Structure 1
Amino acid sequence: MTLFNNLIILLITGFLTLVGNFVGPKINPIEALPGMFILIAIAFVGIVLAKVIPVKIPSVAYIVTIATVLTIPGGPVAEIISAYTAKVNFLALCTPILAYAGIYTGKNIDSLKKTGWKILVLGLFVILGTYLGSAIIAQIILKMLGQI
């Protein structure tokens, strides 16, 4: 996939996110637009780095690293980025991404059928493990903070 196609997909996802941001939490798209452009820029730079750097590291690793470095508390742009991106609702951002995942899964349903019932059992264990792990970590941290 070309960089141009990646950018188009990011822009479409950004537009759908802004629509979901307006429909759900009722955040004005004009207010959320700078935050959406920041998120798109970070994602695009991560994709470019994944294609340019010869080491095979997934673009999501670059994206997370860039976003983390830019938003380190006390950093020169951390407060600005956090203020703008806070206007982009997380659930509105997830909606188009999950829709794409559903379309991709539906497109490859034959491959999914070939994996059989074992993938269902594996999926249940992954979900259960993630939930229990998160609950245990939350319990420990809330106890340490004296919240419970």
Structure 2
Amino acid sequence: MDKIKSILSDSFMAFVVVSFIMTLGIWVGYGTSPLVVLPGLVIYVFICIVGVLLARIVPVPFPAVGWVAIVGIILSVPGLFPWSASFVSYSDKVPFLATATPALAYAGIAVGKDWSKFKKIGWKGILVCFLVFSGTFIGSAAVAEIILRLTGAI
């Protein structure tokens, strides 16, 4: 139990720091007041804490990010809970791209820390990465195009 408390307190502090970084990024980048995005970020932190807790408690090998996604989806299903509409309304005030900034910064730090290993990959590894990223982008764009055309949105 002490291990779970330690993990949760560490996770909570990390989520608070990331939320602070996101708040600054939203304020500077989008000109949105921190008070406007604060409720949405509090909801995000709550969902993340529940996801991390479920990943530690449930005896099924399932990643915390999966639990976070499941909890977020369940809480935002319209009509399932009385607060779902408010939940979605507050969450909509947090720009999606602002949530990517801390993740990309962390990825950059992780790659920078292992730069010698990254250099050992060589040009073939970089080419494979480029092709994977490009294929993912083109595939996502194609799926979006098809769905938008089928639904009549475009």
Q: TM-score, normalised by structure 1?
A: 0.91
Partner in structure 2 of residue 131 of structure 1: 137
Between Structure 1 and Structure 2, the one with more helix by share is: 2
Q: Percent identity, aligned pairs only?
A: 37
1:5 aligns with 2:6: no
- Deviation of 1:46 after TM superposition, in Å, equals 0.6
In 2, Cα distance between the equivalents of 1:126 and 1:3?
Answer: 35
Confirm whether residue 72 of structure 1 aligns to residue 77 of structure 2.
yes
Find the counterpart in structure 2 of residue 99 from structure 1. Answer: 105
Whole-Å Cα distance in 1 between the matches of residues 109 and 93 of structure 2? 27
Count of matched residue pairs? 148
Q: Output the aligned Cα RMSD.
A: 1.6
Q: Give me the whole-angstrom Cα distance separating, in 2, the residues matched to 1:53 and 1:78.
A: 25
Q: How far is 1:24 from its partner?
A: 1.4
* Residue identity matched to 2:88: S
Out of 58, 61, 65, the position equivalent to 1:60 is 65
Unaligned runs of 5+ in 1: none
Q: 1:25 aligns with which of 27, 30, 46?
A: 30
Larger RCO (alpha carbons 8 Å, 6+ apart): 1
* Runs ≥4 residues deviating over 4 A: none
Question: 1:104-146: per-residue Cα shift (whole Å, max 9, x none)?
Answer: 1101112222222232122112112112211211221222133
Q: In structure 2, list runs of 5 or more residues that go unmatched.
A: 1-5
